[in-house]
Structure 1
Amino acid sequence: MTGLELIVVVAATVLLMTWAARRLRLSEPLLLLIGGILIGLMPRFHNLHLPPDVVLLLFLPALLYWESLTTSLREIKNNFRSIALQATGPGRRSA
C-alpha cells in the first residue's frame, strides 16, 4: 500500500467520522480518535508511516486554516500571554 492510499483512507475516515458525529450529536474529536484507532488496528496499516513532509504540507495547513476561521479574537486576547509563551518557550538562563 502506498502513502497516497493511506492519505485517501485517512481523509475518508475523517469525513465519515465528522459526518457521523454531527448526525449522532456526539463529540467530533472522540469519533475521530476512534476512527484513528480503528485504522491503526487494521493489519494493512501496521508497517506504514507517513513522511513528516506529507503531514506538514497536507494536514497541518488544513488544520490551521480551519482554526483560523473558528477561533475568536476575544479568546486569543484573553490567553495571549499563555499562547506567546507556548509558541516561543521561556528562555533558559545559563548560570
Structure 2
Amino acid sequence: MVAVLSAPAYAVTDQERSALQRLNTELEAITKIIDEAQQAANPHDRKLVDYQRLRADLQKIQQGIVDAANTMRREPRSLPPIEGDYH
C-alpha cells in the first residue's frame, strides 16, 4: 500500500503564517537598527562593517519569509546564498 500526500498537507497554517509575519516585522525593526549603527559608525575605523551587504542578506531572508508566508504549498526551491561576512 502506497500513501500519497496531497498538496494541502504542505500548506502554511494560519498560525504559521502569523508567526512568519511577526518574524518579518521584527526583521524590519532590525533594518532600522542597522541604519542607526551605520549612522553611528566611525568612517575612520580600520575595519568597517559592510552595511550594504548586511542589508542585502537581510532582504534575501525577508523575501524568503514573505514567499513562505504567501505560498499555499511548499515545494523545494533553490535560494540565493547569503554572504554572512560583513567586514
TM-score by length of 1: 0.31
Higher relative contact order (CA 8 A, sep 6+): 2
TM-score by length of 2: 0.33
Q: Which has the higher helix share?
A: 1
